[in-house]
């Protein structure tokens, strides 16, 4: 009898607790690569200037106008309308921040304004939006550190949660993150890892239990990021009410829904005409009116929830394509040779103090260059083509390798090696009588 009434009271208590503790964690990724210009064999050793400044500026301006400005102003409004209640998080690659600094400081200041609100958290990532975690722990840590310094100077925040490039995570990367002192990391909630388990809990890294894993709910995230305006989707048009209805359908004991997506979803991947901004604007109100969910930032998740289990990902998992592995960036012979050739230069770059070299080194590591070399969808054309400035992955590869060859030459001349150790090859050819001799 006594025991029965305790059980009843406990159940009521549990429901109250559960009702209170259900969270939506919004995370937006902001990145633009430095796209390469055409770089021919004849340019090797003859000119610097790897990047297509005009194109990069044009794309940055376009994305700023369609997404960065309107979406950020809207989020500012939402944070002001629901103080302490509407929350979200961001991470920015060093690449997009450098470009905003150089070419569009106005947009940067709008971001700074939003990020100055306590409701908005900024996460750590690699400076170059690189795949360095797959090549070298040392390089990875250097990049995260360089990125952290930039975040501190621009946003005055010290990131406590890490998001690796393209949500790439593995047990090793978990260890790197824990060793750097991060308490949490974002990762993909891939079915093949989770099996019967749900992404809607907090997990811990199997090799580093002090590190918590926030796993992306890819179904609900992709409903917004990919399917929102997809023709023929039988759930379209998606409204905030419908989305909240889906949130409510999640079993009550699952406390966390991680919605991770590219920021460019708003206005760039999904155009304004699709109603994506209306959706975003209506979402907080719909959540507050019709559900028990609260918005939360990644750091708050770590305070509010405890990991329910350990998750192991021996092989890297990403958020790209159906495969959710590395095959968008690595795996074909072109990508692998380019990747290995790049990181063969690492120790030489470390010994080089030249700041131009260091900056180009970051830019050349950007994962997008390897994405352009992906042959998976070369035949039928797909999302890869949409993002690819080259006509073919082969062209992307050849161009990249020419740039890398030039970079290597610069590295050798800039390196503080004594002349005796520098490699050299003196041309000794017979003078051609009618030739223009250069001196």
User: Does residue 401 touch another protein according to CB under 8 A?
Assistant: yes
Could you tell me which stretch among 39-47, 51-59, 154-162, 173-181 binds another protein (CB under 8 A)?
39-47
Cβ 336 to another protein, closest distance in Å? 7
Q: Which is nearer to another protein, 45 or 181 (CB)?
A: 45
- Give the interface segment with another protein, choosing from 97-105, 261-269, 307-315, 427-435 (CB under 8 A): 427-435
Residue count of the chain: 439
Residue 179 lies near another protein (rule: CB under 8 A): no
Question: What are the CB-based long-range contacts (under 8 Å, 24+) for 281-285?
Answer: 281/74, 281/77, 281/78, 282/239, 282/240, 282/241, 283/240, 283/243, 283/244, 284/78, 284/81, 284/82, 284/85, 284/86, 285/240
Nearer to another protein by C-beta: 13 or 41?
41
* Dihedral sign (CA 126, 258, 240, 226): positive
- Span near another protein by CB under 8 A; candidates 297-305, 309-317, 359-367, 392-400: 392-400
Total residues in contact with another protein, by rule CB under 8 A: 43
For residue 172, give every residue at least 6 positions away whose Cβ sits within 8 Å of its Cβ, in sequence order, or none.
133, 137, 207
Q: Which of residues 319-348 bind another protein (CB under 8 A)?
A: 332-334, 336-338, 340-341, 344
What are φ and ψ of residue 92, in 5° steps? -125, 135
Per the CB < 8 A criterion, the answer to whether 309 and 201 are in contact is yes
CB atoms closer than 10 angstroms to residue 385: 13
Peptide bond just before 237 cis, omega within 30 deg = yes
Residue pair 349/357 in contact (Cβ under 8 Å)? The answer is: yes
Binding of another protein at residue 306 (CB under 8 A)? no
Provide, rounded to whole angstroms, the least separation between the CB of residue 432 and another protein. Answer: 6
Provide the minimum distance between the beta carbon of 94 and another protein in the complex, in angstroms, as a whole number.
Answer: 25
Q: Does 350 bind another protein (CB under 8 A)?
A: no
First to last CA, the chain: 103
φ and ψ at residue 362, rounded to 5 degrees: -65, -45
> What x/- string results for residues 198 through 237 when contact with another protein is judged by CB under 8 A?
----------------------------------------
User: Looking at beta carbons only, is 179 or 336 nearer to another protein?
Assistant: 336
Binding of residue 409 to another protein (CB under 8 A): yes
* Minimum distance from residue 340 beta carbon to another protein (Å): 7
Q: Is 30 helix (H, G, I), strand (E, B) or coil?
A: strand
> 306 or 434, CB closer to another protein?
434
Number of helices followed by number of strands (H, E) in the chain = 18, 12
Q: Which of 14, 19, 38, 47 binds another protein (CB under 8 A)?
A: 38
Q: Count CB neighbours of 276 within 10 A.
A: 23
Which lies closer to another protein via its Cβ, residue 234 or residue 424?
Answer: 424
Complex with another protein: residue 102 or 336, whichever CB lies closer: 336
Do 179 and 144 touch, CB atoms closer than 8 A? no
User: Quick one: 249 or 436, whose CB is closer to another protein?
Assistant: 436
What residue spans of 233-376 are helical by DSSP H?
Answer: 240-248, 276-290, 298-304, 333-343, 346-350, 355-365, 367-371
Q: Which is nearer to another protein, 5 or 416 (CB)?
A: 416
Report in angstroms how near the CB of residue 425 gets to another protein at its nearest.
5
Tell me whether residue 293 or residue 390 sits nearer to another protein (CB atom). Answer: 390
Query: Where do the H-state alpha helices sit in 2-104?
Result: 2-20, 53-63, 69-81, 94-103
Question: Is 254 among the residues that bind another protein (CB under 8 A)?
Answer: no
The span of 8-16, 36-44, 120-128, 140-148 binding another protein (CB under 8 A) equals 36-44
Q: Does residue 381 belong to the site contacting another protein (CB under 8 A)?
A: no
Candidate list 42, 249, 322, 420; residue touching another protein; CB under 8 A: 42
Residues with a catalytic annotation lie at 166
Residue (of 225, 253, 263, 228) closest to 242 by Cα position: 228
Binds another protein (CB under 8 A): choice among 405, 414, 415, 417: 405
* Phi, psi dihedral angles at 307 (to 5 degrees): -60, 140
Is residue 424 close enough to count as binding another protein by CB under 8 A? yes
- Encoded tokens for 434: 């009618």
CB neighbours of residue 103 within 10 Å: 16
CB atoms within 10 A of CB 300: 16
Question: Does residue 408 bind another protein (CB under 8 A)?
Answer: yes
Residue ranges in contact with another protein by CB under 8 A: 38, 40-42, 44-45, 332-334, 336-338, 340-341, 344, 391-392, 394-395, 397-398, 401-402, 404-405, 408-409, 412-413, 423-425, 427-430, 432, 434-439
């Amino acid at each position: 009898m006594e025991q029965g009434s305790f059980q009843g009271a406990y159940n009521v208590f549990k429901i109250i607790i559960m009702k209170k503790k259900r969270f939506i964690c919004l995370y937006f990724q902001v990145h633009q690569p430095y796209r390469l210009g055409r770089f021919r064999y004849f340019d090797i050793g003859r000119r610097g200037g790897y990047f297509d400044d005009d194109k990069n500026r044009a794309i940055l301006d376009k994305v700023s106008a369609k997404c960065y400005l309107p979406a950020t102003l809207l989020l500012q409004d939402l944070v002001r309308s629901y103080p302490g209640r509407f929350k979200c998080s961001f991470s920015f690659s060093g690449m997009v921040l450098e470009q905003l600094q150089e070419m569009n400081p106005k947009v940067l200041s709008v971001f700074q304004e939003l990020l100055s609100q306590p409701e908005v958290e900024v996460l750590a990532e690699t400076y170059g939006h690189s795949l360095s975690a797959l090549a070298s722990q040392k390089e990875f840590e250097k990049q995260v550190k360089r990125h952290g310094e930039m975040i501190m100077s621009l946003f005055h925040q010290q990131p406590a949660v890490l998001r690796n490039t393209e949500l790439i995570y593995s047990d090793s990367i978990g260890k790197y993150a824990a060793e750097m002192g991060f308490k949490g990391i974002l990762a993909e909630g891939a079915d093949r890892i989770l099996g019967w388990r749900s992404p809607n809990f907090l997990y811990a890294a199997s090799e580093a239990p002090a590190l918590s894993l926030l796993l992306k709910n890819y179904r609900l995230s992709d409903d917004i990021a990919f399917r929102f305006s997809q023709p023929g989707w039988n759930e379209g048009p998606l409204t905030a009410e419908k989305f909240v209805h889906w949130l409510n359908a999640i079993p009550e004991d699952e406390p966390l829904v991680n919605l991770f997506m590219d920021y460019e979803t708003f206005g760039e991947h999904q155009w304004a005409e699709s109603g994506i901004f209306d959706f975003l604007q209506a979402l907080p109100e719909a959540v507050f009116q019709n559900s028990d969910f609260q918005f939360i930032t990644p750091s708050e998740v770590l305070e509010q929830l405890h990991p329910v289990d350990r998750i192991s990902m021996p092989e890297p998992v990403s958020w790209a394509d159906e495969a959710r592995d590395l095959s968008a960036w690595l795996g074909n012979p072109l990508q692998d040779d380019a990747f290995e050739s790049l990181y063969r230069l690492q120790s030489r770059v470390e010994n080089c103090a030249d700041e131009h070299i260091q900056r180009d080194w970051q830019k050349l590591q950007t994962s997008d260059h390897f994405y352009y070399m992906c042959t998976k969808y070369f035949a039928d054309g797909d999302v890869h083509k949409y993002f690819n400035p080259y006509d073919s992955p082969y062209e992307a590869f050849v161009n990249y390798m020419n740039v890398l060859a030039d970079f290597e030459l610069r590295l050798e001349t800039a390196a503080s090696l004594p002349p005796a150790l520098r490699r050299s090859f003196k041309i000794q050819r017979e003078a051609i009588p009618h030739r223009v001799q250069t001196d």
